[in-house]
Amino acid sequence: MFRSAVLAALALIVAMPAQATDTPFQEALHAARNDDWETLSRAQARLGDEHPLQAYLDFHRLRAALPDLNPQRVQDYAERYPDSPLPNDIRQLALVAYARDERWDAARAVYDSAPRSTELRCLYWHAQWQAGNQEALNQARELWLSGNSRPSACDPIFDAARQRGQIGDREIWKRMDLAFYERSPGLMRYLRPMLDDSSYATAADWLLDLYGDPETLTDLPKDLPDDQRQVLLAAGFRRLAYTDTETAREWFEDKRGDLGFTDAALVERAGQRIAWYSTIRGVEDNRDWLDQWLREHGGNDLLDQRARRAVIERNWDELPDWIARLPQSERDDSRWLYWLGRAAEENGDDGKAKSLWQQAAGQRNFYGFLAADRLGEPYRFGNAVPTGDRALPDLPALARVKLLREQDEPGLAWSEWNWLMWHSDERRQRELAQYAVDAGWYDLAVQASIQARAWDVLAWRFPAAHRERFQEAARRYDLDPWLPMAIARRESAFYPNARSPVGALGLMQLMPGTARKVSREAGQAVPGEQQILEPNTNIALGSRYLADLLKQFNGNRILALAAYNAGPNRVERWLAEEEDDAVPADVWIESIPFRETRAYVQAVLTYRVLFQGLHGDTEERTALLLLPRERGTPYSVAMIED
């Protein structure tokens, strides 16, 4: 038996909390989800058999009949509803159910080729193995070789592959090495007992030791097979680069030869890792070695980080040299054009600075807008006129989307919409994008703009979604309404049912604990999960939380946004302790240690400019990115002291 990630992923269809049954369809769907067939029959009689959403009711009849369901009925369902995402959903459920019940003939009947997800692929190939398909064991080996845990549904096909030697000691050792690189010691410990009687057992023990204490790499036995020893040396240097970057560099320079670390590819890989941590941590004692390594070995990501390090340290003389080593496409990006302009300005060449900022200001993004502010020029939105034809033909999927949204089923509507996008050409996608904007389906409009790659049609990418709700919350909490709207656009693309892997919910991606805390502080009833997902509640709680962060950081939106993404405590640690070490706003944003948070702050501030410029009462598009006090204040802890 195994737990199924597929069932969890399909929970939106399979099991929803009770909803108000205001319509016959809602009553029927609620009954079907709860296997209440008597109530479903009564509701069905009122709906008739040709209701546009009949596929959802039929889906649950099939779902409830698993695993005894004849697989031909799954095929018949697909033929009856060919323009719907539901046939694929029932196939997934059927494969899981048949595999659990060991109905291998039925399991093979529901898919003609291997599905995408790891869990379903394992089940598919296990079913094929039961029919004697030898390719199944080759596929099992490919699925096995991962540094991350695999679903328990994969265990049977893995066991079969191990019993027949397709997964042997070498594959177990290789997977332990992959797990080391993925920082997954739990998986390493799980795999280790599989090598008890193996020639790899000693190496496996050393691999675990190196993860806990990489300095033991100097104690590695000389009599280990060289291929194993090379892997262990590479792993040890990689781990030491993380735990003690300076020592890793010293040993890499001075002890590599004595240790016999000679595999050229692994040596290169270890050196790149030491260079990476030397760069992002700004290890001063490693600087000479690092710069020489980069000149000889390069690597775009490393060079990018080295140029960023020059910005953080405000080494304006050396910055242009590092940027010059980047690919031309990177050098032409507004980010590096802006920083080259800053370096030119600091080095006294105002004419060159202006020329570089002119180039950067042509791009519609954070650094393009920063450059425009430096020049005192308006932002260039590059806004294209929508080209979608609003006279769409009658599309059954579009009718279902409309009905599902009316029935308060945004998740099901979202699935239907995505299916429709994937099965439409670019012209139809553009037509649908405009239709969604006109209908007020803001999340679907954004999704359509992405599918159509309509990057310049800002009416589709940045609709003024839930404008009245954001304005009401802004009045209540003394906020600029465009700022929480920009957060929602970044967090969820306005999809109200958005759920992150860590549990954040709704438009503004609130963690349940945060939502409860904000509610208690406001003297309001503590909301449940479904209430947090409701747009009015989510916007109100998210806006209040943003207002609290702005108060905590003395109205500085840069710091408040960083805290919204990464947490207030981290932001306080990122501020300089001494005012002499404080840096300007642009440098502080570039110095944010988390790549995600850097991108988040830049995106939200940029989106806010776009929303105000597109939908505000004024057509002013100048100096909207940063407030004067945000631009002019050096960033240190003094900013948040009372």
The DSSP element (H or E) to which 55 belongs, if any, is: helix 54-65
8 A C-beta contact, residue 263 and residue 230: yes
The DSSP element (H or E) to which 156 belongs, if any, is: helix 155-163
Annotated catalytic, 50? no
Structure tokens at 44: 């069905």
- Nearest Cα to Cα of residue 254 among 298, 281, 278, 218: 218
**Residue at 418: amino acid letter:** N
Contact partners, residue 549, CB within 8 Å, separation at least 6: 559, 560, 563, 564, 568
Residue with tokens 């020329």: 355
The DSSP element (H or E) to which 342 belongs, if any, is: helix 334-346
C-alpha 164/C-alpha 158 separation (Å) is: 10
8 A C-beta contact, residue 151 and residue 118: yes
> 258 to each of 224, 266, 268, how far by Cα in Å?
15, 16, 17
Overall size of the chain counted in residues: 642
C-alpha 267/C-alpha 277 separation (Å) is: 16
8 A C-beta contact, residue 371 and residue 360: yes
CA angle 427, 433, 436 (to 5 degrees): 145
396 burial via Cβ count (<10 Å: 0-12, 13-18, 19+): middle
Share of the chain residues as helix, strand and coil, in percent rounded to the nearest 5: 70, 0, 30
Residue with tokens 């570039």: 590
Output phi, psi for 64, to 5 deg.
-70, -25
C-alpha 479/C-alpha 522 separation (Å) is: 16
> Exactly one of 27, 171, 409, 491 is catalytic; which is it?
491
Residue 547: CB atoms within 10 A of its CB come to 20
> 536 to each of 90, 98, 255, 479, 504, how far by Cα in Å?
33, 42, 62, 16, 16
* Residues recognised as catalytic: 491
